[in-house]
């Protein structure tokens, strides 16, 4: 079997289990919320209209935005509960995903239920009154049983939506089958992307078929079939919950942003903590600024960030001190303002650099950003999704007077393709990326030193700042990774052929850096 497929399969129990639990919880909560709304809406148009309108409105919000919006919302709530009650709500991971998916699940259930109840035959409803049923008896003995098949059809639609949308929970820190898709997309590993899609589709189909069995049982008044379907569904959820239960609490949580180097480093860190005999959870694929906030809120215990990013985006500084001074100031400021511990630098930089194809750079005689500024009005710049919002871009634009013909945004992987296929002429690349050398790119000099140093640094959460075990496990990493090794490790994951998984690359890196 293909080694990438094997590495994907190894993660399946965790990813699938988390995906099932999240979807099941959201669907169950969705049903629990929809039924009272349905009962309230069945007689009163004043309730029906706003409830349906609200549910429809939620449905039009793109899934990933809905998930993302719950993060700041919960963060605010968390600050409030902390002040009032002394405990914090988790703003990342399961809770925001659950809430967003629950909202998503309501519309199909509600709409089908209301349609079913409103379309019940008037003769039957009148007969229910005529034989002497109370309002409650009519609901329980006639209206709900007769609406049940159509209501179940709504639950089926909802289940398929929820399982599909749950793949988008990965960027807010909830492990799901989306981890395959997001990681695969970053590493240009289509086996992983397909594997994630396939697993989500299979899960959705299986769930849909079991719910169909329940629906059939209800429609044909064969309760045994309905119970059978329900039992298999519950058994599936139970099986998904089993590994979670076995997982001991109090393990370490290692975070990673959403690109290959971060996956490799998270795997490397996890490997070292695991070697001490402690359980580790990896939360990968986090948005860039989300990762720091999660660490400061103790939802992550450790991850790797970059000094220039912290300097510009977290501390909002505009000065450009030397590498060493920046590290010193970061350490004291982060500790003072967030309680976050900067354990140390890994030894290499992953800076933003502007890079061009060698041929074009030579032809235009461009070797520095200052030279680039002259030709820029005829050129197109490609960058990742965050670059143009970053202070470093604003500074570059201003200091060098850069005005490009056009700016384009890409997933990092596609950015390199765009450069090689001449869709763009210049890219904002990453200095530790193996593809710079592999693609023979020219990195332009920055004579005005506008781009800050981007030392990779290990950050510990406030709660773990003085954790002796974590320090002992991670201190050997400080200064241990030279840029050449990191580039080669990255390239093992990013290269188009003979791809390795981040975990394999982390193993290679540990070996190559003599970390045993």
> Whose Cβ is closer to other proteins: residue 134's or residue 276's?
134
Long-range contacts of the stretch 342-345 (C-beta < 8 A, 24+): 342/457, 342/458, 342/459, 343/457, 343/458, 343/459, 343/460, 343/471, 343/474, 343/475, 343/478, 344/457, 344/458, 344/475, 344/477, 344/478, 344/479, 345/307, 345/455, 345/456, 345/457, 345/458, 345/478, 345/479
C-alpha 427/C-alpha 206 separation (Å) is: 44
Provide, rounded to whole angstroms, the least separation between the CB of residue 102 and other proteins.
30
x/- contact string, 167-206, with other proteins (CB under 8 A)?
Answer: ----------------------------------------
> Whose Cβ is closer to other proteins: residue 133's or residue 237's?
133
**Going by C-beta distance under 8 Å and a sequence separation of 6 or more, which residues neighbour residue 315?**
330, 333, 334, 337
> Whose Cβ is closer to other proteins: residue 146's or residue 254's?
146
x/- contact string, 212-231, with other proteins (CB under 8 A)?
Answer: ---------x----------
Q: Which of 123, 224, 246, 363 binds other proteins (CB under 8 A)?
A: 123
Helix axes 190-219, 223-246, angle to 10 degrees: 140
Provide, rounded to whole angstroms, the least separation between the CB of residue 213 and other proteins.
18
Provide, rounded to whole angstroms, the least separation between the CB of residue 112 and other proteins.
17
Contact yes or no for 456/349 (Cβ under 8 A): yes
Q: Which of 28, 124, 239, 406 binds other proteins (CB under 8 A)?
A: 124
C-alpha 199/C-alpha 13 separation (Å) is: 11
> Whose Cβ is closer to other proteins: residue 136's or residue 497's?
136
> Whose Cβ is closer to other proteins: residue 146's or residue 451's?
146
Stretch that binds other proteins, among 120-128, 155-163, 298-306, 389-397 (CB under 8 A): 120-128
Provide, rounded to whole angstroms, the least separation between the CB of residue 121 and other proteins.
8
DSSP, collapsed to helix, strand or coil, labels residue 302 as strand
Provide, rounded to whole angstroms, the least separation between the CB of residue 123 and other proteins.
3
Q: Rule CB under 8 A: is residue 127 a binding residue for other proteins?
A: yes
Residues 128-147 that bind other proteins (CB under 8 A): 128-134, 137, 141-142, 145-146
CB atoms within 10 A of CB 144: 18
- CA-CA distances (angstroms) from residue 387 to 351, 417, 428? 12, 17, 8
Measuring CA to CA, which residue among 434, 413, 429 is closest to residue 486? 434
Provide, rounded to whole angstroms, the least separation between the CB of residue 151 and other proteins.
13
Provide, rounded to whole angstroms, the least separation between the CB of residue 117 and other proteins.
14
- CA-CA distances (angstroms) from residue 391 to 226, 321, 323, 508? 58, 16, 18, 35
> Whose Cβ is closer to other proteins: residue 137's or residue 368's?
137
Stretch that binds other proteins, among 24-32, 125-133, 250-258, 491-499 (CB under 8 A): 125-133
Q: Rule CB under 8 A: is residue 126 a binding residue for other proteins?
A: yes
- CA-CA distances (angstroms) from residue 360 to 372, 376, 433? 11, 13, 20
> Whose Cβ is closer to other proteins: residue 141's or residue 367's?
141
- Strand bridging mode 455-460 / 341-349: antiparallel
C-alpha 352/C-alpha 451 separation (Å) is: 7
CB atoms within 10 A of CB 107: 24
> Whose Cβ is closer to other proteins: residue 134's or residue 324's?
134
C-alpha 95/C-alpha 1 separation (Å) is: 37
Q: Rule CB under 8 A: is residue 10 a binding residue for other proteins?
A: no
* Phi, psi for 284 (deg, rounded to 5): -110, 165
Provide, rounded to whole angstroms, the least separation between the CB of residue 210 and other proteins.
22
> Whose Cβ is closer to other proteins: residue 148's or residue 203's?
148
Provide, rounded to whole angstroms, the least separation between the CB of residue 109 and other proteins.
20
Provide, rounded to whole angstroms, the least separation between the CB of residue 220 and other proteins.
10
Structure tokens at 135: 């309002």
Helix axes 190-219, 144-165, angle to 10 degrees: 180
> Whose Cβ is closer to other proteins: residue 133's or residue 197's?
133
Residues 53-72 that bind other proteins (CB under 8 A): none
> Whose Cβ is closer to other proteins: residue 59's or residue 137's?
137
Provide, rounded to whole angstroms, the least separation between the CB of residue 149 and other proteins.
10
With contacts defined by CB under 8 A, how many residues of the chain interact with other proteins?
19
> Whose Cβ is closer to other proteins: residue 169's or residue 226's?
226
Please report, in angstroms and rounded to a whole number, the separation of the first and last CA atoms in the chain. Answer: 29
Task: Locate all alpha helices (DSSP H) within 421-457, ordered by sequence.
Answer: 435-438
Residue 335, class by beta-carbon neighbours within 10 Å (0-12 exposed, 13-18 middle, 19+ buried)?
middle
Provide, rounded to whole angstroms, the least separation between the CB of residue 222 and other proteins.
12
Stretch that binds other proteins, among 115-123, 405-413, 430-438, 469-477 (CB under 8 A): 115-123
C-alpha 51/C-alpha 60 separation (Å) is: 15
- CA-CA distances (angstroms) from residue 431 to 355, 395, 398, 434, 491? 9, 19, 22, 8, 12
Stretch that binds other proteins, among 117-125, 246-254, 402-410, 457-465 (CB under 8 A): 117-125
Interface residues with other proteins (CB under 8 A) are 121-124, 126-134, 137, 141-142, 145-146, 221
């Amino acid at each position: 079997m293909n080694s990438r497929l094997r590495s994907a399969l190894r993660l399946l129990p965790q990813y699938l289990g988390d995906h099932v639990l999240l979807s099941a919880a959201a669907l169950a909560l969705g049903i629990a919320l929809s039924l009272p709304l349905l009962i309230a809406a069945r007689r009163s148009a004043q309730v029906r209209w706003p409830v349906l309108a609200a549910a429809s409105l939620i449905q039009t919000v793109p899934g990933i935005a809905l998930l993302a919006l719950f993060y700041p919302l919960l963060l605010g709530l968390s600050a409030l509960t902390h002040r009032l009650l002394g405990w914090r709500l988790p703003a990342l991971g399961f809770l925001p995903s659950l809430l967003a998916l629950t909202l998503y699940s309501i519309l199909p259930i509600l709409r089908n239920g209301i349609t079913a109840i409103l379309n019940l035959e008037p003769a039957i409803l009148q007969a229910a009154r005529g034989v002497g049923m109370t309002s409650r008896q009519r609901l329980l003995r006639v209206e709900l049983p007769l609406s049940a098949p159509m209501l179940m059809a709504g639950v089926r639609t909802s289940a398929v939506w929820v399982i599909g949308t749950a793949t988008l929970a990965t960027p807010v820190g909830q492990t799901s089958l989306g981890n395959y898709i997001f990681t695969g997309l970053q590493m240009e590993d289509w086996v992983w992307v397909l594997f994630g899609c396939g697993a989500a589709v299979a899960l959705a189909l299986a769930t849909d078929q079991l719910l169909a069995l329940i629906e059939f049982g209800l429609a044909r008044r064969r309760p045994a079939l309905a119970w059978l379907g329900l039992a298999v569904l519950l058994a599936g959820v139970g099986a998904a919950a089993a590994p979670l239960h076995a997982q001991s609490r109090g393990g370490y949580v290692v975070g990673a942003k959403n690109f290959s180097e971060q996956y490799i480093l998270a795997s490397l860190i996890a490997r070292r903590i695991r070697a001490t005999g402690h359980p580790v959870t990896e939360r990968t694929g986090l948005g860039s600024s989300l990762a720091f906030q999660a660490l400061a809120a103790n939802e992550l215990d450790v991850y790797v960030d970059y000094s220039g990013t912290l300097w510009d985006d977290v501390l909002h500084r505009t000065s450009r001190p030397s590498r060493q001074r920046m590290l010193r100031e970061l350490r004291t400021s982060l500790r003072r303002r967030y309680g976050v511990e900067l354990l140390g630098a890994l030894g290499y930089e992953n800076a933003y650099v502007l890079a061009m194809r060698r041929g074009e750079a030579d032809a235009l005689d461009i070797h520095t950003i200052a030279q680039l500024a002259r030709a820029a009005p005829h050129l197109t710049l490609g960058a990742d999704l965050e670059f143009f919002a970053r202070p470093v871009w604003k500074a570059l634009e201003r200091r060098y007077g850069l005005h490009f013909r056009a700016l384009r945004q890409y997933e990092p992987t596609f950015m390199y393709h765009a450069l090689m296929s001449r869709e763009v002429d210049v890219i904002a690349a990453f200095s530790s990326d193996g593809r710079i050398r592999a693609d023979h790119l020219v990195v332009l000099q920055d004579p005005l030193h506008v781009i800050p140093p981007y030392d990779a640094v290990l950050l510990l959460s406030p709660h773990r700042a003085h954790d002796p075990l974590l320090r002992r496990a991670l201190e050997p990493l400080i200064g241990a990774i030279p840029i050449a090794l990191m580039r080669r490790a990255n390239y093992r994951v990013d290269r188009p052929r003979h791809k390795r998984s981040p975990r394999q690359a982390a193993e290679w890196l540990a070996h190559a850096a003599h970390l045993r």
